Amino acid sequence: MADHLKRLAAPNTWPIKTKGITYITRPAGAGSSMSHSVPLVIAFKEMLGLATSTKEVKKILHHQEVFVDGNRVYDHDASVGFMGTLSIPKLKLYYRLSITQKNMLTLVPITDKEAAKRPCRVEGKTDLAKGKIQLNCSDGVNVIIAKDEYKTADTVLVENKKVVEHYSFKKGCPIFLMKGAHVGHLATVEAVQGKTVTLKADDGKVFETARKYCLVVGKEKPSISVKA
């Protein structure tokens, strides 16, 4: 596969110029879909303004310690997936990849403590040997657990491949909308009707959306930074 793609083929969620460029870097796999991940070259040039060229991005990656989800990266086409973290400890810069209400990917400033944690939506479960369970999460993240107390659509906060917090999908929980007509909004679950949920936004507006668009971000209120 080519390491670039035509600008016109790039996802409309990427915050890049609409004119003046013919090709753009294709992101290496991050587990997330291309529309919900960005290569570091775009993060540094278009989103953070820390570089003006790909050459400068490569120099930063080799002379600064840059981490994606806690792992050091060297390649400019390495990508950050949705809700993943980008850290530059020497510059004291820490970010989480989120999405705005205009359906545009954005890097939200977070603390250094948050940078080691990633919220993952439980999409399914697999039985393993010796009674263990594997949680099959969003963005390709898999976590092995000894005790199964999780349900599909719950969120697990993962740090060093271990679950450090568990947020159940239920009435009253805070959620962040990843897709759909209300993308980028924070809301509270009012009711669950199969694959559809009724939500109440911070402004009091009540609406329905698909359950698959919801990411639980806390127990009674958001526990992680997902909006700028």
pLDDT at 2 over 60: no
- The domain total for the chain is 3
Residue 50 pLDDT: 93
The arithmetic mean of pLDDT across residues 119-137, rounded, is: 90
One domain, residues 199 and 211: yes
Can you give the pTM of this predicted structure?
Answer: 0.89
pLDDT at 124 over 90: yes
Q: Are residues 125 and 109 in the same domain?
A: no
Q: Are 25 and 52 members of one domain?
A: yes
CATH at 55: 3.10.290.10
From CA 147, how far away is CA 132, in angstroms rounded?
A: 7
Q: Are residues 103 and 134 in the same domain?
A: no
178 in a structural domain: yes
Same domain, 78 and 148: no
Which pLDDT score, from 0 to 100, does residue 203 have? 82
- 100 and 56 belong to one structural domain: yes
Contact call for residues 108 and 225 (beta carbons, < 8 A): yes
Same domain, 12 and 74: yes
On whether both 161 and 81 belong to a single domain, the answer is no
Task: Examine the pLDDT at 28 and tell me if it is beyond 90.
Answer: no
The reply to whether 222 falls in a domain is no
Identify whether residues 13 and 101 lie together within a single domain. Answer: yes
Asked whether residue 25 is assigned to any structural domain, the reply reads yes
In the prediction, which pLDDT does 1 show?
42
User: According to the model, what pLDDT value does residue 182 have?
Assistant: 94
CATH code of the domain in which 153 resides: 2.40.50.740
Q: Is 137 helix (H, G, I), strand (E, B) or coil?
A: strand
Give the model's pLDDT for residue 216. Answer: 97
pLDDT in tens, 39-83: 999 999 999 999 998 899 999 999 889 999 989 999 988 889 999
Q: What is the pLDDT of residues 85-98, one digit of tens each?
A: 999 999 999 999 99
Q: What is the pLDDT of residue 14?
A: 80
Residue 140 has pLDDT above 70, yes or no: yes
104 within domain boundaries: yes
Which residues have CB under 8 Å from 79's CB, separation 6+?
Answer: 27, 28, 29, 30, 32, 37, 38, 39, 40, 68
Question: In percent, how much of the chain has pLDDT > 90?
Answer: 61
Domain that holds residue 26: 4-115
In a domain, 212, yes or no: yes
Q: What does the pLDDT read at residue 34?
A: 83
